[in-house]
Amino acid sequence: MTGVRQRLDELVAEFADLDGREKLELLVDFANGLPALSPDYEARKSQEDRRVHECQTPVFLWTESDSGAARLVAEVAPEAPTVKGFVAVLAEAINGRPIVEVAAISDDVLDRMGLAAVLGILRTRGLRAIVARVKRGFAERAAAAG
């Protein structure tokens, strides 16, 4: 079974080979594949502080553990398909893997995907904050589980 790092490397390679326009098209495909929140999470959205305040557009993240298996649940506003697509890429790499492996996501994932050239510096910083938030969320889960 492939680990988070290897899965992410495969996804990164998929992006790295594409030109700018194709990268954005692939992000849109991923964005379209991110499932809508279940009614349970929809209800929790208003009760818990899950908003990623570093992002200008509304992004809500839950870093869940199902008996030690990671599950990233997210809602990203439809007006932000780039962010939504990127979160979907992370979810694909992470979901179902042991939460301790999430720490292996390297901080330069955006650079390796070649997104900085397509999005510019300010936008990729917002995405970097999401990577940081996801890693921290799962690290807290792992610490709590001992």
Partner 1 sequence: MSVPSQPDVLVSTEWVAAHLSDPQVRIVESDEDRALYTQGHVPGAVEIDWAVDLQCPIVRDYIDRAAFERLCAERGIANDTTVVFYGDKNNWWACYAFWVFKLYGHADCRIMDGGRKRWELDGRAWSGERVSYPRTTYTAHEQDGSIRALRDEVLNHCRAGKQLLDVRSPEEYRGERMHMPDYPNEGAVRGGHVPGAVNVPWPLNCREDGTFKPVKELEKMYLRELKMKRRSPTIAYCRIGERSSLTWFVLKYLLGFGSVKNYDGSWLEWGNAVRVPIAKGAEPGSIVAAGGPAPTVLA
Q: How far apart are CA 23 and CA 110, in angstroms?
A: 12
By CB under 8 A, is residue 123 in contact with partner 1? yes
Q: Would you tell me how many other CB atoms lie within 10 Å of the CB of residue 129?
A: 15
By CB under 8 A, is residue 63 in contact with partner 1? no
Cα torsion through 119, 122, 126, 128, rounded to 10? 80
By CB under 8 A, is residue 33 in contact with partner 1? no
Please say which residue, 122 or 144, places its beta carbon nearer to partner 1.
Answer: 122
Residue 116 sits at the vertex; the CA angle it makes with 113 and 117, to the nearest 5 degrees, is: 100
By CB under 8 A, is residue 107 in contact with partner 1? no
Place of tokens 């080979």: 17
Please say which residue, 58 or 98, places its beta carbon nearer to partner 1.
Answer: 58
By CB under 8 A, is residue 68 in contact with partner 1? no
β-strand partners of 63: 72
By CB under 8 A, is residue 126 in contact with partner 1? yes
By CB under 8 A, is residue 31 in contact with partner 1? yes
Using alpha carbons, list the distances in angstroms from residue 111 to 21, 33, 82, 119, 122: 16, 23, 15, 11, 13
Residues within window 72-91 making contact with partner 1, judged by CB under 8 A: 79-83, 85
Least distance to partner 1, CB of residue 66, Å = 25
Binding part of the chain for partner 1, among 17-25, 61-69, 105-113, 138-146 by CB under 8 A, reads 17-25
Phi, then psi, of 61 in degrees rounded to 5: -130, 140
Contacts with partner 1 by CB under 8 A lie at: 20-21, 24-25, 27-28, 31, 53-54, 56-57, 79-83, 85, 117-123, 125-126, 128-129, 132-133, 136
